[in-house]
Amino acid sequence: MSLLTYIKIQVFQFSNSVRFSEEKLKKIRALKDDLPDLVRPDFSETSGSAEVGDIPASMNKKQYDHSLGIDDQRTALNSAIDSNSDKTKTAFEFVVSTRQFEIELYWKRATYFWTFIAAVFVAYVALRQLGEGYEFETLLVSAVGIILSLAWHFSNLGSKSWQRHWEKHLDLMEDNFMGPLYKTVNSDQTYSVSKINEIVSFVFVVVWILLFASALESSYDFPKSVNDIDWIPTILVLMICAGICMAFCSMVFGKGRGRFKAQKVKMYRRDYKFD
């Protein structure tokens, strides 16, 4: 084979490969142009009627994937394109980091409440050992113990709720990036550290209620009739009980609840003027 023939063959092969690459590139571009038609959301499948603008009050799987640039109906090539998009990558990285952040916050909050509850328990024991003359202080400290234990228990429930929230996002998104790694487990049942912690916090609530009842029984003489009422200690005891009830109702029904329904928002912008 002469050198000229060899060069002609190489030029012919290179031109064919270039032509094939151009045709493949045209197909990919045409496929990307068709993507908006493939991912048009169908809000008729949405459950719930309340909406905020164009965002449904609840989402099905198709609408969830569409909001993050993912669609199970696409080909493997389209999924690869979506997985490399900045929006989807940023969302996945945000889910992973936020889930880890929520786990760290969960145990930081637990340590915070452990410290305060332990300090209150030490104060309660010290006051009980002092005996007479400190009945009202003992009752007040035990009421603080009830409130802190309730706050710890409800904080555990709220923290676990947010942790599950980001875990569900991770389960839904991970297939497009690393496969079903996180949601693939080697056991169908195990012990939950966070749920055990919730049980422990509830036990502390019960223990503090019993300690409060014990302090109340030893510090307050329950009257047998209206004429026997000693009004000053009775009013103090009623105020403490009312404080516990108000704290409980505020946590369960008031400010302690997070609500995620449609809300009206009013924004302001700071303005500066030079002298």
Q: What is the band of 51 on the pLDDT scale with cuts at 50, 70, 90? A: very low
d(CA 230, CA 171): 62
Max avg pLDDT among 73-87, 109-123, 160-174: 109-123
Q: Is 163 within 8 Å of 102 (Cβ atoms)?
A: yes
Mean pLDDT of 262-275: 85
CA 221/CA 228 separation, integer angstroms: 10
Of the given ranges (81-95, 184-198, 226-240, 248-262), which has the lowest mean pLDDT?
A: 81-95
pLDDT at 192: 87
Please give the single-letter amino acid code of residue 141: V
Asked whether residue 255 carries a pLDDT value surpassing 60, the answer given is yes
**pLDDT of amino acid 22:** 56
More confident residue, 61 or 34: 61
Mention every residue, 6+ apart, whose C-beta is less than 8 A from residue 212: 139, 142, 143, 145, 146, 244
Q: How sure is the predictor about 80, in pLDDT bands with cuts at 50, 70 and 90?
A: very low
By CB neighbour count within 10 A (0-12 exposed, 13-18 middle, 19+ buried), where does 79 fall? middle
pLDDT above 50 for 44: no
Amino acid making up residue 150:
L
Q: Is 170 exposed, middle or buried (0-12, 13-18, 19+ CB in 10 A)?
A: middle
**pLDDT for the residue numbered 258:** 77
CB 171 within 8 A of CB 183: yes
pLDDT tens, residue by residue, 206-251: 999 999 998 888 777 776 777 777 777 788 888 988 999 999 998 8
**pTM greater than 0.75:** no
Q: What is the mean pLDDT of residues 256-273?
A: 82
pLDDT of 67 strictly over 60:
yes
Tell me which amino acid residue 251 is: M
Q: How far apart are CA 33 and CA 26, in angstroms?
A: 11
* pLDDT for 41: 40
Q: Average pLDDT over the chain, rounded to whole?
A: 75
**Average pLDDT of span 2-15:** 53
CA 61 from chain centre, in angstroms, equals 20
Residue 125 has pLDDT above 60, yes or no: yes
Dihedral sign for Cα atoms in the order 176, 178, 184, 190: negative
Strand-pairing partners, residue 55, are 52
Q: Is there a contact between 148 and 109 (Cβ–Cβ < 8 Å)?
A: no
193-219 and 86-130 helices, crossing angle to 10°? 30
Single out the residue of 235, 215, 64, 62 nearest to residue 128, CA to CA.
215
